[in-house]
Amino acid sequence: MTGTPAVPATSTADAPLPLRRRLAVVAMAVGTFALVTVESLPVGLLPFVGGDLHVFEGTAALMVTVPGLVAVVTAPLLPVVMGRLDRRIALVALVALMVLANALCAPAPDFTVLLGSRFLVGISIGGFWALAAGVAVRPVPERLVPRAVSVVFGGATAANVLGVPAGTLIGGLADWRTAFAAAGALGLLVLAALLLLLPTLPARQAVRLRALAQQFGHPPRWCAPVSSPRSSRWAVTSPRSPASAPSSRTSAGSARARSARSCSASARPASSATSSPARPRNATSAPPSPPSAPC
């Protein structure tokens, strides 16, 4: 009697990702592009800014140094200050702060106002980088986490290749104020996209100051051994890379599955081997393998 083969049910994990969620990841990538472009934009505009505001180019380079230093301080502290604030609201507020900073940069009457607006850019950059990796993986299922993280942080590479040269070109064709105004307009587009596409992202847990202090006492783990029955290899992991967790879990799960299969094969009763008709063994056949170790 033959039964009807069972039809495997379609898993919800393999369902296609809705278009709105895909666009939300793209909006995050464009946000990363805009933030990195704004951060490095003064690099190609130093001669124009120095000549217009009558400061040395070395002094004008503080427009790059100050946001970087502020971002280093604010990146670990802002998640503590935000508490359980919806991450969507937090991202929108940070991008709005970046737009405001560029709106102050464009008509800056002197270097002091310009440097103060760059201070606001540093706050926006630090907060955005602190939340970007965690927010990027929320709209997608676990199987698409590596791809989503790659797309979001690919915006930073695109900014270095396209955004900063484009800002320098605009500054050369028009003036440096127009370049900052164009960066602010791009921020407005990102702001609108995040408002329309990102779902509500409630904080899963509040970051406490004590937990933040404990992180500085843990040494970073860059490599973790991943073993398999046939070989042993090293998987590069990073505490800042959420995409490394699913892949390591998959490798460990497949290793356990292969080990379980080998155990079940070695535990088969000897009667199954003697039930088949005996075949003559020639002299060139390989000797029987030694018994496997207990699993």
3-state secondary structure of 76: helix
Answer yes or no: pTM beyond 0.75: no
The total of other beta-carbon atoms located within 10 Å of residue 116's CB is 14
**DSSP H or E stretch at residue 46:** helix 46-53
Distances (CA, A) of 74 to 40, 63, 70, 135, 161: 18, 17, 6, 18, 26
Q: What is the pLDDT of residues 109-162, one digit of tens each?
A: 999 999 999 999 999 999 998 888 788 888 888 888 889 899 999 999 999 999
What is the structure's pLDDT at 194? 92
Average pLDDT over residues 216-220: 64
| Residues contacting 123, CB < 8 A, separation 6+ | 70, 71, 74, 78, 94, 97
- 54 φψ region: left (φ > 0), alpha (ψ -120 to 50), beta (else): left
User: 170, exposed or middle or buried, with CB in 10 Å at 0-12, 13-18, 19+?
Assistant: buried
What is the structure's pLDDT at 107? 94
More confident residue, 255 or 219: 219
DSSP string, 2-27: -PPPPPPPPPGGGSPPPHHHHHHHHH
Q: Residue with structure tokens 């630090």?
A: 126
| Residues contacting 30, CB < 8 A, separation 6+ | 155, 186, 189, 190, 193
- Asked: is 18-210 a CATH 3.30.70.1450 domain? The reply is no
The total of other beta-carbon atoms located within 10 Å of residue 92's CB is 18
Phi, psi of 228 (to 5 degrees): -135, 165
**Domain boundaries defined on the chain:** 18-210, 219-257
Sign of CA dihedral 85, 86, 89, 90: positive
> Cα 47 vs. chain centroid, distance in angstroms?
34
Q: What is the pLDDT of residues 162-201, one digit of tens each?
A: 999 999 999 999 999 999 999 999 999 999 999 999 988 8
